[in-house]
Chain A
Amino acid sequence: METFDVLGHFGQYGGRFVPEALIGALEELEAVHNQTQQDPAFLAELAELHRTYTGRPSIITEAKRFSEHAGGARIFLKREDLNHTGSHKINNVLGQALLTKRMGKKRIIAETGAGQHGVAAATAAALMGLECVVYMGEEDTRRQSLNVARMKLLGAEVVAVTSGSKTLKDAINEAMRDWVTNVHDTHYMLGTVAGPHPFPTMVRDFHKIIGEESREQMLELTGRLPDAVLACIGGGSNAIGIFNAFIPDTDVRLIGLEAGGHGVETGRHAATITGGTPGVLHGTRSYVLQDENGQTVESHSISAGLDYPGVGPEHAYLHDLGRAEYRAINDDAAMNAFALLSKTEGIIPAIETAHALAGALVIGNELGPKANLLINLSGRGDKDVQTAAQYFGIPL
Chain B
Amino acid sequence: MTALDSVLAKCRSENRAALIAYIPAGFPSKQGCHKVIQVLADAGVDAIEIGFPYSDPVMDGPVIQEAADISLQGGTQASDVFAALKTASDTGVASVVMTYWNPIERYGVERFAASISDNGGSGVITPDLTIEESKGWLEATASNSINPIYVVAPSTKDARLAHVTSVTGGFIYAASSMGVTGTRETVSIDAKDLVSRIRKVSQLPVCVGLGVSTREQARSLAAYADGVIVGSAFIKLLLNSKDEQSGLDAVSHLAKELALGVREGR
Which residues of A does B touch, CB under 8 Å? 7, 15-21, 23-25, 163-164, 169-170, 173, 176-177, 180-184, 279-283, 285, 288, 290, 292-296
Contact = CB atoms under 8 A, between A and B. Distances in A.
29 contacts: A15-B132, A17-B128, A17-B133, A19-B58, A19-B151, A20-B153, A20-B175, A21-B155, A21-B156, A23-B155, A164-B56, A170-B56, A177-B58, A177-B180, A180-B59, A181-B180, A182-B178, A184-B155, A280-B101, A281-B56, A288-B102, A290-B102, A290-B106, A293-B103, A294-B102, A294-B105, A294-B107, A296-B55, A296-B56
Contact of A163 (B65, B129, B157): B65
A183 B180 CA distance: 12
A164 B57 CA distance: 10
Contacts, number: 108
A280 B175 contact: no
Interface string B64-98: 01000100100001100000000000000000000
A279 B156 contact: no
Sort A-B residue pairs by CB-CB distance and give the 8 closest, nearest first.
A294-B106, A21-B153, A294-B103, A181-B179, A176-B58, A294-B102, A295-B55, A296-B55
A180 B178 CA distance: 6
Interface of A is mostly: mixed
Nearest to B156: A20
Nearest to A295: B55
A279 B54 CA distance: 13
A180 B105 CA distance: 24
Interface string B136-154: 0000000000000011111
B187 interface: no
B109 to A, nearest CB: 12
Contact of B179 (A164, A180, A294): A180
B127 interface: yes
B61 interface: yes
B156 A23 contact: yes
B212 interface: no
Given A180-B180, A181-B180, A17 B106 contact: no
B199 interface: no
B164 interface: yes
A16 B129 CA distance: 8
A183 B102 contact: no
A285 B103 CA distance: 13
Given A20-B156, A21-B175, A180-B58, A7 B106 contact: no
B160 interface: yes
Contacts of A281: 56, 102
B178 A23 contact: no
B245 interface: no
A277 to B, nearest CB: 8
Most buried by B among A18, A21, A169, A288: A21
A292 B106 contact: yes
Nearest to A16: B130
Contacts of A25: 155
Interface residues of B, number: 40
Contact of A16 (B102, B107, B132): B132
A160 to B, nearest CB: 15
A295 B54 contact: yes
Nearest to B99: A294
A69 to B, nearest CB: 40
A177 B59 CA distance: 6
A21 B59 CA distance: 10
B116 to A, nearest CB: 16
Interface in B147-206: 150-157, 160, 164, 175, 178-180
Contacts of A184: 155, 178
Nearest to B107: A294
Given A169-B56, A180-B59, A295-B72, A17 B101 contact: yes
Given A21-B153, A163-B65, A279-B105, 8 more contacts: A17-B101, A19-B175, A21-B156, A23-B160, A24-B157, A182-B178, A282-B58, A294-B104
Given A20-B150, A20-B151, A183-B178, A177 B56 contact: no
Given A20-B151, A288-B102, A290-B106, A173 B178 contact: no
A280 B179 CA distance: 21
A295 B58 CA distance: 13
A21 B178 contact: yes
Contacts of B129: 17
A233 B155 CA distance: 35
Nearest to B151: A20
B113 to A, nearest CB: 15
B55 to A, nearest CB: 4
A177 B151 contact: no
Contacts of A181: 178-180
B151 to A, nearest CB: 6
A19 B160 contact: no
Contacts of A20: 130, 150-153, 155-156, 160, 164, 175
Given A181-B178, A295-B54, A19 B59 contact: yes
B152 A173 contact: no
Most buried by B among A15, A25, A280, A292: A280
A340 to B, nearest CB: 37
A183 B102 CA distance: 24
A159 B254 CA distance: 35
B78 A293 contact: yes
Contacts of A283: 128
Contact of B130 (A17, A169, A173): A17
A186 B127 CA distance: 21
A293 B106 contact: yes
A373 to B, nearest CB: 37
B242 to A, nearest CB: 25
A348 B119 CA distance: 59
